[in-house]
């Protein structure tokens, strides 16, 4: 079952200039998923502050890290597609 919208399917056809194969559809479905592309949350994430004295690590660097006071820093997300997240590199 695909999570691609009719508009996304049409975009894929336009980009390829033909009907996509089942394998190609699966690849687009994964790469354009919320998990990989943040397609539905990207606009909301852009509203969050990214530069401030309390932002220790911002977007694009790794997990978002924010100092919340008393020298306590929290990681907003720890995930890696290249390495198991539970193992410290």
- Residues marked active site are found at 35, 81
For 66, other C-beta atoms within 10 Å of its C-beta total 17
* Residue whose C-alpha is closest to residue 50's, from 36, 29, 64: 64
SS3 for 29? Answer: helix
Strands of 65-69's sheet in order across: 55-57, 65-69, 72-75
What does DSSP assign to residue 82? S
């Amino acid at each position: 079952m695909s999570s691609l919208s009719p508009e996304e399917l049409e975009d894929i056809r336009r980009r390829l200039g033909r009907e996509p194969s089942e394998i190609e559809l699966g690849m687009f479905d994964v790469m354009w998923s919320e998990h990989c592309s943040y397609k539905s949350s990207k606009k909301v994430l852009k509203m969050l502050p990214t530069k401030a004295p309390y932002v220790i690590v911002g977007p694009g660097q790794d997990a978002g890290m924010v100092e919340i006071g008393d020298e306590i820093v929290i990681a907003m997300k720890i995930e890696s597609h290249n390495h198991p997240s539970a193992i410290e590199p």
